[in-house]
Chain A
C-alpha cells in the first residue's frame, strides 16, 4: 500500500520563499514562472505524481498557504 498525496497552494498568500520546496522529500514542488498579484512567484506541484501527502511543506510554510490531501492507494 502506498500513500498518494496532493497539495493546494493558496497562490495569493504564497510569497515564494521556497522553504516548502527544499523541505519536500519527493521534489514535488517548484516555483511557478507566473507571479501572483503581489508579484511573487508562487509554489506549485511541478511533479504531482511524486507527492505522498507527508505535510512537510505545509508544516514549514510561514504563511500557512498550503493545504495537504492524502489517500491510501
Chain B
C-alpha cells in the first residue's frame, strides 16, 4: 500500500489538538513541558471545557504556557499561582481552574501557597513539573535537586551539609486532608505519557465533583540544565529520579 493512500484525513488517528496554538514552543528540544502542555490540551479538548477552563501560569520556563494553550490565562508571580487559582475558583465555582508550576515555583518560593491551597481543599488542579532544577534562570539547584547532582549553584554536587535534602513535597501534599488525588507520573515514554494524560483527566474531573484538590506531579527532564541529550536525559531520569521520586498514585480518595 502506498503511503499516499494512507495519509488521508479519514485515516488520521493522531493530530495536534485544536487547544494547542500554532505558536512554536520556546522550550529546548525534548523538554517535558511541551509533552505535558499537549496532554493538558488534549484533556481540555476531549472534555469540551475550553470555555470553562482558566489556567494559571508560573514563573519559570513555563511562564509562557499561555502562548501554547488557547484558553484564558492568568500569569502569577513566582510561587503564588495557588492563591490566584483559589480566588478564581471561589469566585467562579463552575470553572475548571488549574495551576501549572515548576519545582522552584511550587516547592521553594511557593510552599506556603501550595500547602494552604491544598489544605483548604480548593477544587483546583495542580500540575507540578519536577525536573530537579531551575531551568529558566540557567540551571540552579532546586529543592528537588538530587544529592550529588551538579547544578550551577551546586557545581560540586548537592551536598546535605550545605544544601539539605531533596524535598519530596508531593508526599507532604498527600498528607493534607484537603487533597483527594495525589499522583506522580512522567512523560518519558509513550506508555508513561498516556498514564499521565489519564491522571490529568481524572484531576479535572475531580474538580467538577468538588472532591478537593487534585495534584499531579510529573517527574520531568531538563536536558539543557542537566547537560545531556534529550534521550540520555530521559534515561538518566528513569535511573536516578524515579528511585527518589517513585512513579504512581500516592493518594486517591
Contact = CB atoms under 8 A, between A and B. Distances in A.
Judge: A and B partners, yes or no. Answer: yes
Given A40-B29, A69-B8, A70-B13, A18 B229 contact: yes
Interface string A53-73: 111111111111111111101
A69 B33 contact: no
Interface in B154-183: none
B209 interface: no
Nearest to A12: B24
Interface in A1-48: 4-6, 8, 12-13, 15-19, 21-23, 40, 45, 48
Contacts of A22: 231, 234
Contacts of B28: 15
A15 B15 CA distance: 18
Contacts of A63: 24-25, 27, 34
A8 to B, nearest CB: 6
Nearest to B30: A17
Interface residues of B, number: 36
A19 B188 CA distance: 8
Interface string B182-208: 000001111001100000000000000
A15 B31 CA distance: 10
Contacts of A62: 25, 27, 29-35, 38
A42 B95 CA distance: 39
B16 A69 contact: no
A64 B11 contact: no
A64 B29 contact: no
A63 B190 CA distance: 14
B199 to A, nearest CB: 14
Contacts of A56: 189-190
A66 B38 CA distance: 12
A18 B29 CA distance: 9
A60 B189 contact: yes
B32 to A, nearest CB: 7
Contact of A48 (B3, B16, B20): B3
Contacts of B253: none
A9 B88 CA distance: 39
Task: Rank and list the top 8 A-B pairs by shortest CB-CB distance, nearest first.
Answer: A62-B34, A17-B30, A15-B29, A56-B190, A17-B29, A68-B14, A17-B230, A6-B6
